[in-house]
């Protein structure tokens, strides 16, 4: 089927991906062996293995490299069902980065989850699988100067090491996020803009707006926990944002979802314009 030119691993992955999406290969079906696929496409087994790994990373295959042909994975959880932030945010960002002009607006307590989830679309850019023309990020996080609702010490102290610890995390994670986005500007000639502004309150929820087409919304759930910091144990009330469930609202999914996405975007835009000074990362 490949004529005189040998197919690349990406081209083979694309062919198999279309067979899966078209229903020729269904969830639970076994793929042919690597030898059979290598013979079909007229390539070496190493090229087939690279194609299978790409499909596994996309969540389309299971049991890769376990001594038997991989199986077609079950379909991903429908968008309507909430998923933990660390499960859903990376794939959603990757999808958002597949368009020429990427716009991401965020309200969060720190950018830890965002920083980690962003590694997925950035990897796709570095692999050459996606190449947006522009990337615009606007991030709202609490100001360093406010009394946070959380995290806070269980018992008040005159000195507040919990606030200092949070501030160090906020700044360090934001700098990494900024650096990773600017890196693709120099290596892939993508027009990148990222800006941070400081909220005058502690957001009780996290919000990710992707290209004005999807809103991911989740509640911070407070817990009492201990954390080591500068040779002491801090007992605090805190929220673990990575464990928050994200609810997805799609603009094209129906009237109710569309209204939520549109109103969330209007709210963010108005709040962004109200806060005129950029957040310092020091």
pTM over 0.85: no
State which residues of the chain have pLDDT below 50.
2
Nearest CA among 195, 236, 266 for reference residue 258: 266
Q: CA triplet 264, 269, 270: central angle to 5 degrees? A: 100
Residue 75 has a pLDDT of 64
Task: With beta carbons less than 8 A apart as the criterion, state whether 135 and 102 touch.
Answer: yes
Residue 118 has a pLDDT of 95
Q: Which two three-digit tokens encode residue 110? A: 């720190």
Residue 66 has a pLDDT of 55
Q: Find tokens 């076994």 and name the residue.
A: 30
Instruction: Please report the DSSP string for 91-125 in residue order.
Output: HHHHHHTTSSEEEEEEE-S-SHHHHHHTHHHHHHH
Q: Find tokens 């490299």 and name the residue.
A: 65
Q: Find tokens 């309507």 and name the residue.
A: 80
Residue 101 has a pLDDT of 96
């Amino acid at each position: 089927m490949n004529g005189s030119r040998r197919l690349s691993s990406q081209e083979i992955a694309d062919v198999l991906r279309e067979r899966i999406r078209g229903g020729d290969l269904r969830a639970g079906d076994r793929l042919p062996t690597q030898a059979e696929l290598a013979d079909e496409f007229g390539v070496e087994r190493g090229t087939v293995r690279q194609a299978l790994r790409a499909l596994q990373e996309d969540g389309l295959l299971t049991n890769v490299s376990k001594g038997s042909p991989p199986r077609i994975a079950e379909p991903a959880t429908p968008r309507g069902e909430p998923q933990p932030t660390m499960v859903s945010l990376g794939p959603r960002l990757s999808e958002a980065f597949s368009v020429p002009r990427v716009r991401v607006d965020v309200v969060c307590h720190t950018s830890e989850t965002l920083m980690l989830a962003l590694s997925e679309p950035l990897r796709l850019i570095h692999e050459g699988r996606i190449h947006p023309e522009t990337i615009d990020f606007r991030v709202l996080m609490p100001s360093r100067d406010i009394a946070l609702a959380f995290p806070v010490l269980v018992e008040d102290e005159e000195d507040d090491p919990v606030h200092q610890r949070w501030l160090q995390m906020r700044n360090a994670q934001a700098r990494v996020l900024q650096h990773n986005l600017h890196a693709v500007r120099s290596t892939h000639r993508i027009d990148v803009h990222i800006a941070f502004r400081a909220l005058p309150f502690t957001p009780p929820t996290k919000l990710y707006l992707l290209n004005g087409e999807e809103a991911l919304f989740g509640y911070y759930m407070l817990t009492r926990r201990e954390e080591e910091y500068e040779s002491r144990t801090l007992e605090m009330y805190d929220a673990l944002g990575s464990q928050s469930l994200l609810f997805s609202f799609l603009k094209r999914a129906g009237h109710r979802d569309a209204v939520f996405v549109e109103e969330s975007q209007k709210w963010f835009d108005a709040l962004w314009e109200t806060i005129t000074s950029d957040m310092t990362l020091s």
